[in-house]
Amino acid sequence: MSSQLMPIPEEFFAFENGQPFTHCQICNKPLLTGNSDYFIEKVIRNYPGQGVQDVVYEYAVCWHCAEENSQRMSEESLQNIQAYFNAQMAFLYQVQEYQQRWPEISNPLPDHCLVTGQSKADLDEYMIYGHFRGDQMVRSTMPYLFSGQVLDELGECLSEKTRDELDDFRDKYFGGPPELEELWKSRRPVFF
């Protein structure tokens, strides 16, 4: 086993069954066998002090589908997101620090928002995002944890065209009960 790989942390398991994701949300390609690279994004609603969490949405998407879908983002959105992260010095520092030290980091998943510094335990909502290969997490790629505030700010970076694309993605893959529709409307998948 490569030292850049580690077992998938339980935080990235599917909420429905408490097991690793098995297939790409888009093309249904098997993810756990072989050396397929893929990404997992989860938005979690946290109830601080109560020890209760709800998953707003979660998905795993293979590298190919992620690449294909990222090409649907407008140039304006891509530039705005790049400018947003370039302005976040604390985030850039943490990414640089992680890239230099990842082999010695035993638990790569941050316990705080990488932009605001707020503790995960104190956040009402947060998103985690990671890179995986087969049944392992790729440690050399930093997993992200962003607060709801950062997700809102990233949402403001998106052009109307990109928002429509992400709404279509959400509607196609995350249909559900009407009472949750309002909650989902406020959150769009940000990273493919």
Band of pLDDT at residue 137, cut at 50, 70 and 90: very high
Residue with tokens 């505030």: 149
With pLDDT > 70 as the criterion, what percentage of the chain qualifies? 87
Residues 107-120: tens digit of each pLDDT:
888 999 999 999 99
Number of Cβ within 10 Å of residue 56's Cβ equals 21
**Cα–Cα distance for residue pair 136/131, rounded to 1 Å:** 9
Band of pLDDT at residue 192, cut at 50, 70 and 90: very low
Angle at 56 between CA 53 and CA 59, to 5 degrees: 115
**pTM of the full structure:** 0.86
- Residue 167, C-beta contacts closer than 8 angstroms, at least 6 positions apart: 188
- Residue 94, C-beta contacts closer than 8 angstroms, at least 6 positions apart: 110, 114, 142
